[in-house]
Amino acid sequence: MAQGLEVALTDLQSSRNNVQHHTEEITVDHLLVRRGQAFNLTLYFRNRGFQPGRDNIIFVVETEDAVYLDSEPQRQEYVMNDYGFIYQGNKNWIHPCPWNYGQFEEKIIDICLQLLDKSLHFQTDPATDCALRGSPIYVSRVVCAMINSNDDNGVLNGNWSENYTDGANPVEWTGSVAILKQWHATGCQPVRYGQCWVFAAVMCTVMRCLGIPTRVITNFDSGHDTDGNLIIDEYYDNTGRILGNKKDTIWNFHVWNECWMARKDLPPGYGGWQVLDATPQETSNGLYCCGPASVRAIKEGEVDLNYDTPFVFSMVNADCMSWLVQGGKEQKLHQDTSSVGNFISTKSIQSDERDDITENYKYEEGSLQERQVFLKALQKLKARRFHGSQRGAELQPSRPTPLSQDSPRSLDVPSLRPSDVVQVSLKFKMLDPPNMGWDISFALLALNMSSQFKDLKVNLSAQSLLHDGNPLPPFWQDVAFITLSPQEAKAYPCKISYSQYSQYLSTDKLIRISALGEEKSNPKKILVNKIITLSYPSIMINVLGAAIVNQPLSIQVIFSNPLSEHVEGCVLTVEGSGLFKKQQKILLGVLKPQHRASIILETVPFKSGQRQIQANMRSNKFKDIKGYRNVYVDFAL
């Protein structure tokens, strides 16, 4: 009987294979290959040589790649790029926040695998969990639940309270690496604290590290519809102040992820980009996670397709109903069909520009197609509610059902009658840029579109907002009496001094100004509001000389105190994958009013190619003055 082969040694050719599979930045000591691509290994036999025709070697492999992107520029951006931008601010002032994803940094792959092992799925049934790890649908839901800590010892604690004394203010973070390494170093204790953009950024790091194409998405004026009726109800008092303690909210901006994957669990055509939202808002199958929800299904109103599609649909396409609360009664002011879901944004491919991808999520606002999709989604939700389904449950596609005439208000779609159309318009206009430390100057523009005289009384107010839409108490109020001739326009100038708003400002630096107008002898009210984001001057970063691998490099960081008062406890943090081994923290102490200064940092780049430096400065008066600089690092000669 012929003697079988005995393997003496296996050479996985890790260094060569990892370079070909673009994983050499993670490691060259262990084999790390990507799906759907050939790799080489060498077998050494102990007893005799391999004889073709006589000997057979059989490999059992699974070669399907459910996350394959056929565009090389897209693969470079959504898998390989280790830095990017997260868009914040408001729809009138969209601001890029630089972020260090750092998915190839030391130990990050091990931390990502540990994250999978710490999930409730693995802890409950490790055999089944490991068997399902070839499915990006399954893995993305596991990671999504593990980024927040609501159900387990996930990576991040969420905090929207404005009290961060026992942790980091979410606006201070500039990268995922420090967060993931802290979670790992403390025995997987949740890191304090995160908000939506931090959850999304850390999830992007984990998913890109695992080889799943991922990008970070910002939705401005994002709906949070708690009762599943596709209507966000907002309540105001007679001064125009928005009232808190309500279930529905419109987040000034909200950030989630899209991951690219096939969806064989759905009808054909719904693969590709899928929404995943790690911010703990609502549960899905008992855990705080959301998605994957097909972006195409959201656009087409197919809210009965898995997973969590109704919730995501409401974030981008719910209607907004405004109510006046007075004397214990609610009076409908107006319904806005286009205020939710604006300027949906992500970083462009291999560019620092912003891509507007709103058209991926919905048809043009005001179009017949958009309203038809909205009504289709509403019908499906009514049918689903009728059958007692729960959010996130396994759903069967339902046929559209007509809206009943006796359905409750919450499921009807009120429309504006001709009598609802007012003949006076109000609008806010900024007179100066809203810079932190300056007075805020703006005007209320009133236009009489009728052929009659109009006497208006307008209540104005200003209040700080958290980015999730929750208001803080008003700090400024005014009353304007405006008389308008037929077809006349007037401007009522307003000013809010720095001393008036400084002590009431949230760390989100958001101020909502509102005006509630009424005509004499007319019960109808006119509501207008505007959200202002106060801006800081950016940190400037200069690279002094050529950046070369393993050669010393000097970096100048220029920063300033933008306020006309002393600030204390100033700390500068600087990081950048491939440039710094770890995040740098520099204690700056006290900065005088309007003081401008600079420091020189020394580092030795250890990776070549396009890199980015991210910087943040915090103090007792501000938390997130940021800056960035792109750097190209050459190979050593």
Residue 129 sits in the same domain as residue 197: yes
**Does residue 400 surpass a pLDDT of 60?**
no
**Does residue 368 surpass a pLDDT of 50?**
yes
**Measuring CA to CA, how many Å separate 429 from each of 494, 527, 531?**
10, 15, 11
Q: Which residues contact residue 389 at a Cβ distance below 8 angstroms, ignoring those fewer than 6 apart?
A: 395
Residue 446's domain spans which residues? Answer: 424-533
Token reading at 9: 């040694």
Per mean pLDDT, which range of 167-171, 414-418, 506-510, 522-526 is the poorest? 414-418
HSE-CB for 286 with a 13 A CA cutoff:
3
Q: Do 240 and 513 form a contact (C-beta atoms < 8 A)?
A: no
pLDDT (0 to 100) of residue 422: 62
Residue type, 133: R
Phi/psi of residue 588, each to 5°? -105, -20
Nearest to 424 by CA among 459, 443, 442, 451: 451
- Is the CA virtual torsion 575, 578, 580, 581 positive or negative? positive
Domain boundary among 39, 65, 91: 65
Residue 41 sits in the same domain as residue 119: no
Radius of gyration of the chain (CA): 28
In this prediction the pTM is 0.90
365 among annotated binding-site residues? yes
Reported confidence tier of residue 544, pLDDT bands at 50, 70, 90: very high
**Measuring CA to CA, how many Å separate 103 from each of 21, 109, 178, 542, 578?**
15, 7, 12, 25, 11
pLDDT (0 to 100) of residue 410: 33
**Does residue 293 surpass a pLDDT of 80?**
yes
Reported confidence tier of residue 521, pLDDT bands at 50, 70, 90: confident
317 among annotated binding-site residues? yes
pLDDT (0 to 100) of residue 402: 33
pLDDT (0 to 100) of residue 388: 62
- Which residues partner with 610 through β-bridges? 632
Average pLDDT on 505-514 reads 93
**Does residue 136 surpass a pLDDT of 80?**
yes
How far apart CA 273 and CA 276 sit, in angstroms, is 10
**Model confidence pLDDT, tens digit, residues 154-170:** 999 999 988 999 999 99
**Does residue 469 surpass a pLDDT of 90?**
no
Answer yes or no: is 71 within a domain.
no
Answer yes or no: is 414 within a domain.
no
Q: Do 558 and 544 form a contact (C-beta atoms < 8 A)?
A: no
Residue 259 sits in the same domain as residue 339: yes
Token reading at 197: 């953009």
Residue 61 sits in the same domain as residue 87: no
How far does CA 202 lie from the centroid of its chain? 11
Residue 90 sits in the same domain as residue 212: yes
Average pLDDT on 617-633 reads 95
- What does the CA dihedral 542, 546, 550, 556 come to, rounded to 10 degrees? -20
Give the CATH number, domain containing residue 548. Answer: 2.60.40.10
**Does residue 118 surpass a pLDDT of 70?**
yes
Answer yes or no: is 394 within a domain.
no
Average pLDDT on 345-371 reads 96
**Does residue 396 surpass a pLDDT of 50?**
no
Q: Do 248 and 319 form a contact (C-beta atoms < 8 A)?
A: no
Answer yes or no: is 562 within a domain.
yes
Q: Which residues contact residue 424 at a Cβ distance below 8 angstroms, ignoring those fewer than 6 apart?
A: 446, 447, 448, 449, 450, 454, 456, 484, 517, 519, 526
Mean pLDDT of all residues belonging to the chain: 91
* Angle, helix 108-117 to helix 177-185, in steps of 10 degrees: 60
Ordered alpha helix ranges (H), 492-582: 498-501
Q: Which residues contact residue 527 at a Cβ distance below 8 angstroms, ignoring those fewer than 6 apart?
A: 236, 240, 322, 324, 333, 334, 514, 515, 516, 517
pLDDT (0 to 100) of residue 385: 78
Domain boundary among 335, 369, 386: 386
What percent of the chain shows pLDDT beyond 90? 77
pLDDT (0 to 100) of residue 392: 45
Q: Is 466 helix (H, G, I), strand (E, B) or coil?
A: coil
How far apart CA 20 and CA 38 sit, in angstroms, is 9
Average pLDDT on 473-485 reads 96
Give the CATH number, domain containing residue 259. Answer: 3.90.260.10
Q: Do 575 and 586 form a contact (C-beta atoms < 8 A)?
A: no
304 among annotated binding-site residues? no
pLDDT (0 to 100) of residue 2: 62
Q: Which residues contact residue 125 at a Cβ distance below 8 angstroms, ignoring those fewer than 6 apart?
A: none
**Model confidence pLDDT, tens digit, residues 29-41:** 889 998 888 999 9
Domain boundary among 533, 568, 589: 533
Residue 498 sits in the same domain as residue 440: yes
**Does residue 58 surpass a pLDDT of 60?**
yes
39 C-beta neighbours (distance < 10 Å), count: 16
**Model confidence pLDDT, tens digit, residues 212-268:** 999 999 999 999 988 888 999 999 988 888 887 677 889 999 999 999 999 999 999
**Measuring CA to CA, how many Å separate 408 from each of 117, 259, 390, 403?**
46, 37, 19, 11
Answer yes or no: is 34 within a domain.
yes
Higher per-residue confidence, 355 vs 421: 355
Answer yes or no: is 75 within a domain.
no
Average pLDDT on 323-329 reads 89
**Model confidence pLDDT, tens digit, residues 583-619:** 999 999 999 999 999 999 999 999 999 999 999 999 9
Residue 324 sits in the same domain as residue 233: yes
Residue 87 sits in the same domain as residue 170: yes
pLDDT (0 to 100) of residue 405: 31
Residue 13 sits in the same domain as residue 93: no
Reported confidence tier of residue 404, pLDDT bands at 50, 70, 90: very low
Answer yes or no: is 99 within a domain.
yes
Answer yes or no: is 528 within a domain.
yes
Higher per-residue confidence, 46 vs 574: 574
Reported confidence tier of residue 415, pLDDT bands at 50, 70, 90: very low
For the chain, helix, strand, coil in percent to 5 are 20, 35, 45
pLDDT (0 to 100) of residue 390: 45
Average pLDDT on 84-98 reads 95
Q: Is 182 helix (H, G, I), strand (E, B) or coil?
A: helix
pLDDT (0 to 100) of residue 285: 87
Residue type, 257: N
Residue type, 6: E
Residue 434 sits in the same domain as residue 490: yes
Reported confidence tier of residue 406, pLDDT bands at 50, 70, 90: very low
How many residues are given for the chain? 637
Residue 523 sits in the same domain as residue 597: no
The domain tally of the chain equals 4
Residue 244 sits in the same domain as residue 95: yes
Q: Which residues are catalytic?
A: 196, 254, 277
pLDDT (0 to 100) of residue 535: 93
